Structure 1
Amino acid sequence: MKTKQERKPRIIFHVDMNSFYASVEMAKNPELKGKPLAICGNPEQRKGIIVTCSYEARKYGVKTTMPLWEAKRICPKLIVRRPNFDLYRKTSRQMFDLLREYTPMVEPVSIDEGYMDVTEQSIHPLQLAKIIQSRLLHDLDLPSSIGIAPNKFLAKTASNMKKPMGITLLRKREIPTKLWPLPIEQMHGIGMKTAEKLRTIGVFTIKDLAQANDIQLKSLLGINGIRLKERANGIDPRIVDPDSIYDYKSVGNSTTLREDTTSEEELLSTLRMLADKVSARLKNKSVFASSLSVMIRYHDWKTHTRSKKLENPTQNREEIFQEAKKLFTKHWTKKPVRLLGITGNELVDQGHAYKQLDLFSYEKDAEEEPLLQTLEQLKEKFGENAIQKGITGQKKDNLANTSFSKDFLLDSVKRERD
């Protein structure tokens, strides 16, 4: 028989900062408040894409990923600022430090949003949410929206229901009235392509998904189809995990070219640059990629991603480049390319990475065997971590040069340890 504690329903907050980059800029410079403001990657070049914008700018139709020239056309008074990533990281750390004052069960999921498990808090959830929202605004001058629900999915859904400065409580019993009538593309976790696929089997609303046939869903979307159906029914067993910032599901880099091009030399040179970056980040995180994907975005914004399983996990830049080159040359349609990306997937820790010896790699491995034996002898004498070939350190202590979506989180953890 379950105890009362085990039966206690969870209370999960999803805290989502409103227009985070723009809000941080306004907090730094109050003269920007109330004005249409956009943060843009590179105003002088083709990479002038809107990263985020204030709600005042959104009233004119300005939105994320919009080209700067178009944003200025529909909003002539638009104020443009370059991103200040150091400032955003610092502010994000302050934001998460504030959240941890109320519970250690805080899971950052990006620079501007995170989950909190406040089940054990004695104060009423609505009152606690008001306190947190008020402190974020008073202490950091940052607006936020907070979703309150019994699980992560519903909390995330709730936080999106009212922006900016919203607090929304979403109970499971409210799913049929608040969630099911919505179009399927408005459900968190479903993009436009997935929505298009679902419509082919008669799924147009979240209610349709909640009542869809399991066999059809699995055939169409794999196991993710069943998972999405569970979410549509308010089922989400995921816990709030403060340690999830150490989990790396993939490592990738992409870049927008200065101009659309069909130059194979330029495209391959760009791929090599991306392979170098991905390799460096894999080594920095002490992980190996077991599969690789290449993303090609054409001049008309149509995007194709192609992947392949690698024979052996790798973090070697030349191996990454060669595999990426094969994928690219096989699937490139010769149309002008706007953006290229490489991502290493199915990551494994260095300690669990293995290499399959075959006819082609055996000779090279044999040549390295004396060196490997020497390394093992040194490890036996001085410890497992005395020498690491090509690795900078263990994952949880390896905090430099990480991706922008993770490094500010890891810095925060490092400060706590220090």
Structure 2
Amino acid sequence: MSTENPHVLYVRFQADAPLAEDVYQGLLALLGEVTPVVEALPPDAALADVRGALRYFGRDAAGLAEIVRVRALARYGVDCVVGVAANPMLARMAAHDAPPNTPGAVRTVPGDPDAVAGFLARKPPIALPGVGAATARALCAYGLDSTERIAAAPLATLQRILGAATARRVHAWAHGIDPAPVTPNAPARAVGAEHRFDHDELDPVRRRRALLTLADGLGIRLRTSGQIAARLGLTVRYADGSSTTRSRTLTEPTAHTPVLTAAAYALHDALGLQRARVRSVALRAEGLMGAELASHQLSFDAEDDKARRAEAAADRARARFGASAVRPAGFLDVA
């Protein structure tokens, strides 16, 4: 592993409530004042490669991170935790390494190999971005319960446990190597909603009820505004302040609540959160477009036709009698 100066910022914006779309866009524009290489990570984070801005500002990457913090607080009243490192993976891990429920901070992983190895050494496999619960369980079953042990294991051993492609990625991550670049993007138009539990939630049934409620609300908002969504994103925030975000492209762009609900359940179930203490769940409908662009696949399924007619009738009832006139049987009050 060669020495490389930190030049990637992972910025996680902190707020008492989910960021409004215009505030999030403003924060991304603020990052764009420092560097044009900004990758939006909705709903509350972004990556920035500041390599080309270091000489212009006469500061190192940590100094630029402090500029971002000060400007975000001054303009939007939003603090942020910033991870600074030589690649996106390490920067993300540095930001998530901040103690929960603490004010914003800048946390830097130095670029020399010994410092990177020391930073990674005692972290569990699940701390590596891209390692899910199932992969972590497989590694721990063979005694590879820390990043240090994974890094010391022969690649051939990892390949027997995980398969060739996954083993190569995990082996590189355990050595602090992440070849993925920061890819500038324009965030898709999106709408989102979040449910915060009264206490850290262990019950998967209550989490699914929250997802049902959020998906129903998103479907109503989309249909009311004459829009459809091409993708659905799920963000799960845990008791320690860390979070996981996953997204899924829908079979066809839609605003149909049962389709959104099924996608939300699938994203949640794929995370394998058997013992996770969940603080909140959020859904985000992405890739929005006008409903007139929808091309619904014809079906001979009578139940699907019934569901769509019932949904239209429920929308008419809500329009006449209010949003609470019709609700899912498993509805939860959303904060």
Rg larger in structure:
1
Secondary structure at 2:40's aligned position in 1? Answer: strand
1:201 is aligned to 2:113: no
Which aligned pairs between 1:304-315 and structure 2 lie closer than 5 A?
313=252, 315=254
Question: What is the CA distance between 1:205 and its match in structure 2?
Answer: 1.2
The two structures have a TM-score, normalised by structure 1, of 0.44
The answer to whether the Cα contact below 8 Å between 1:158 and 1:170 also exists between their aligned partners in 2 is no
Q: Distance in 2 between matches of 1:132 and 1:270?
A: 35
The answer to whether the Cα contact below 8 Å between 2:81 and 2:95 also exists between their aligned partners in 1 is yes
Instruction: Read off the aligned partner of 2:94 and give its amino acid letter.
Output: A
Secondary structure at 2:105's aligned position in 1? Answer: coil
Q: Distance in 1 between matches of 2:91 and 2:280?
A: 34
The answer to whether the Cα contact below 8 Å between 2:30 and 2:71 also exists between their aligned partners in 1 is no
1:241 is aligned to 2:157: no
| Structure 1 runs not aligned, ≥5 long | 1-8, 22-38, 40-82, 296-307, 328-337, 365-418
Q: Distance in 1 between matches of 2:158 and 2:258?
A: 40
Q: Distance in 1 between matches of 2:229 and 2:253?
A: 8
Question: What is the CA distance between 1:317 and its match in structure 2?
Answer: 2.3
The answer to whether the Cα contact below 8 Å between 1:14 and 1:115 also exists between their aligned partners in 2 is yes
- From the superposition, tell whether residues 126 and 286 of structure 1 become closer, same or farther in structure 2 (CA, over 3 Å): same
Q: Which residue pairs with 1:120 in the alignment?
A: 52
1:151 is aligned to 2:87: yes
Higher relative contact order (Cα pairs below 8 Å, separated by 6+ residues): 2
Question: What is the CA distance between 1:344 and its match in structure 2?
Answer: 9.8
Q: Distance in 2 between matches of 1:10 and 1:280?
A: 48
Q: Distance in 1 between matches of 2:167 and 2:39?
A: 25
Instruction: Read off the aligned partner of 1:215 and give its amino acid letter.
Output: Q
The two structures have a TM-score, normalised by structure 2, of 0.52
Secondary structure at 2:47's aligned position in 1? Answer: strand
Question: What is the CA distance between 1:150 and its match in structure 2?
Answer: 2.8
Q: Distance in 2 between matches of 1:154 and 1:246?
A: 26
- From the superposition, tell whether residues 125 and 314 of structure 1 become closer, same or farther in structure 2 (CA, over 3 Å): same
The answer to whether the Cα contact below 8 Å between 2:126 and 2:136 also exists between their aligned partners in 1 is yes
Which aligned pairs between 1:118-267 and structure 2 lie closer than 5 A?
118-123=50-55, 127-134=60-67, 136-137=69-70, 140=73, 144-161=80-97, 165-171=105-111, 173-174=113-114, 175-190=116-131, 194-210=135-151, 211=153, 213-218=157-162, 224=166, 226-243=168-185, 245-246=187-188
Question: What is the CA distance between 1:339 and its match in structure 2?
Answer: 11
State the percentage of identical aligned residues: 19
- From the superposition, tell whether residues 209 and 128 of structure 1 become closer, same or farther in structure 2 (CA, over 3 Å): closer
Question: What is the CA distance between 1:199 and its match in structure 2?
Answer: 0.6
Equivalent residues, number: 257
The answer to whether the Cα contact below 8 Å between 2:128 and 2:173 also exists between their aligned partners in 1 is no
| Structure 2 runs not aligned, ≥5 long | 237-247, 267-277, 306-335
Q: Which residue pairs with 1:107 in the alignment?
A: 39
Question: What is the CA distance between 1:183 and its match in structure 2?
Answer: 3.4
